[in-house]
Structure formats: structure tokens, C-alpha cells
Amino acid sequence: MTWNWQHPDWPHFVWDARQMRAAEAAFLQGAGVALGVAKHLANRDHQEISVEILSGEAVDTSAIEGEILDRGSVQSSIQRHLGLDTDHRRVRPAEAGIAEMMVDLYTHLSDPLTEDTLLQWHRLLMRGRADLTEIGAYRKDGEPMQIVSGAIYAPKVHFEAPPAIRVPEEMKSFLEWFSRTAPSGDTPLPALTRAGIAHLWFESIHPFEDGNGRIGRAIAEKALAQGLNKPAITGIAGPLLRHRKDYYLALEAASRTLDVMEWLLWFADKAIEAQARTLHHIEFIMAKTRLFERLRGQLNPRQEKALRRMFAEGVDGFKGGLSAANYMTITGALSATTTRDLASLVDLGALIKAGERKSTRYHLNLRIN
């Protein structure tokens, strides 16, 4: 016996709920803090943070699979599906598909998870793909579904999923469990526990030819939101991307046993990390609003454009900071004008200057009360 689904007690996972109590309590407390902070956001800021978190989740969950998406295009597509103003840029099928999937997830977080939902998500994710046999349907190929690495002549098998013929029945059991363990179900489970098991169980079945990781993380988001009883995206893909190697190792280890305690503790830690980063996003948007309100009427169009471009980079900002060359590219200003504009932004307290001469860089000053 190699894999969890080959165990005679599959899919009866085991864990010690007592070991999860501290993490579950911390997650609920963090959600309360984020909700309290978010109450101070204006409606437009609520919309902005929703787009930022959804687009970040879409980009990060794709990057985990090695697919690099254009964040601006994903944001534009999300804005359009949410009925917000957009720049109407041309968006590639992959970016449009995952954007629509994220909006569907966000707007139906409290809805039951159904097979139709999963098949629709798969159709959206695989938009534009011509290399797959099954799109919007479970895999049917009789060949083993394996995750492998290494040379083709000596592959290392990290996981092998159940045969395709078993997938429909396996998914039926999974979806019934997801319904029973919801807050309104017969046997509800705490948010982190349910999300962690749901993600692992779905990945263990691996029902689709491709897209299982992205859909599995969306399922985890849905479980977390239902556990909090509010429409919120935790942003779990961000920490999983930053810890991608450990993420794959944790999933591989958990796929070999029905004892999921170690996996749940690892997953809970990353979910709490994601929650903290989401709170940082909210505080970032609030700082942006305060900064522009304080500087109202004091910025020229070039300076405002540059600041908005810096904020558009998100909480991580320009890698290494904004340079004079960046400013000239963004605004089209000449060198002398750039020098004056940047000096003025420092004097106004909008930017913090670091370094000298060619090494000079500018960072957003978000510590202003």
C-alpha cells in the first residue's frame, strides 16, 4: 500500500481536534480583527481591496503551477465581471478564465459546492486549451494519473491518483462530506480543519486532467469563508506560493496516510499567514486613501500618476524602490523635472528617499497618521 486512497479505511481521515484548537481560535480572532478594520473602508476601497485580493489569489494560484499571468489583465477582467470600471484591455483566455472563476467563487462563497460548480470552474480554467481530452468533465483516460519529476528514463513518482473509473464515485463521496461538514450540515467542522481536509481529499482524487491544484485551493477558500460565515477570501495561495517546495512535500507526505494531523497543522499555519497578509492589504488601502486625502490639491498630475502607479504594485511595491528612471518612464517627465517632482514628494512626506546618486530609490511613506 502506497497511497491514502488504497487504505482499507479510506477516506476516513484521523486527527486530534485538540491540537487544532489554538489555530482555529487564532483564525477566528484574526477574522474578527480584519472585519473590524474593514468597517472603516469606504465603498470604493472595499471594491479595490476585493479586486486586489481576488487578482492576487488568481495570479498566485497559477504561479504555483508554473503559469505566469499578467496581474493587470486579471484585475481588468475581475473588475468587468464585478461590474466595476475597467480599462477594457484585451485579456488572454487563461487570464480571463481564472478571473471569471475567482469572481464566481467570491460571489457564491456561501453556496453549496456541487459537481456542476466544479465542472464549470474547470471549463473556465482550461479556456483556450486544445491539448486536453476532457474539459469540463472528469478524467476518463485509463492511464495512471501520476505526478512525477526527474528524468524521463528514471522518473520519481510523487503521487498516483485513483483510476479514472473510480473518480465519479470518489467525487460523490467527497461532495457529500463537504455538505455534511458545512456550518449548516449534520456534522460541522471548524474552518481550518474542514478546509485542510477538503484540499487534501480533492487533491488525492485528482479528478481532472489538469487544473486540480487551482480548483483544490479554490475549494479550500470556500471552506474557510463558510467557516467564518462571511464573504471573504483568505488568500491562501500567497503563502503556499512562497512556501511552494514545502507545500508539495507536505501534500506528498499527507497523501500516503490517513493520519492528517501533521498536514492540518501545516495548512493552518499557512492560512493564518494568509489572513495576516490580507489584513496588511486592507491597511495598505486605508493608508493610500489617507495619503491622497492629505495631499489633495498639492500634487501635480505627474506626481499623482506616479504615486498611483506605485500603489498599483501592491503592498510589496516596486522591487528595490522607485528610481528616477522609473519616474521618467511612468510620467514622461524630463530629468530636471523628475528631480524637482521627487524632491517635492519627499518634502510632502509622500515618499521616503534612500541611497545616493544612481543608487537613490524612493519608497511610499505609509507611516503617516
- What residues does each domain of the chain span? 4-284, 299-364
Active site residue 199: no
Cα distances from 317 to residues 10, 280, 281, 362, in angstroms, run 46, 13, 12, 10
Q: Confirm whether residue 211 is marked as ligand binding.
A: yes
- Cell numbers linked to 283: 491597511
Q: For residue 364, list its beta bridge partners.
A: 351
Sign of the CA dihedral 232, 97, 243, 19? positive
pLDDT for res 368? 44
Structural domain 4-284, CATH architecture:
Orthogonal Bundle (1.10)
Rounded to whole angstroms, how far apart are CA atoms 148 and 170?
A: 22
Evaluate if pTM is beyond 0.85: yes
Q: Confirm whether residue 317 is marked as ligand binding.
A: no
In tens, the pLDDT along 31-88 reads: 988 878 777 777 888 888 889 899 999 999 999 999 999 988 999 999 999 999 888 7
Rounded to whole angstroms, how far apart are CA atoms 93 and 127?
A: 6
H helix or E strand, kind and range, residue 149: strand 146-149
Q: Confirm whether residue 355 is marked as ligand binding.
A: no
Domain 299-364 sits in CATH at 1.10.10.10
Per the residue annotation, which of 81, 122, 206, 281 is the catalytic one?
A: 206
Q: Confirm whether residue 185 is marked as ligand binding.
A: no
> Contact 139/170 with Cβ under 8 angstroms?
no
Q: Confirm whether residue 362 is marked as ligand binding.
A: no
Q: Which residues lie closer than 8 Å to 200 by C-beta, 6 or more apart?
A: 13, 251, 254, 255, 260, 263, 267
Query: 143-152, 245-254, 341-350: which has the minimum mean pLDDT?
Result: 143-152
Rounded to whole angstroms, how far apart are CA atoms 62 and 46?
A: 24
Q: Confirm whether residue 106 is marked as ligand binding.
A: no
Mean pLDDT of 143-151: 78
Q: 155 or 100: whose pLDDT is higher?
A: 100
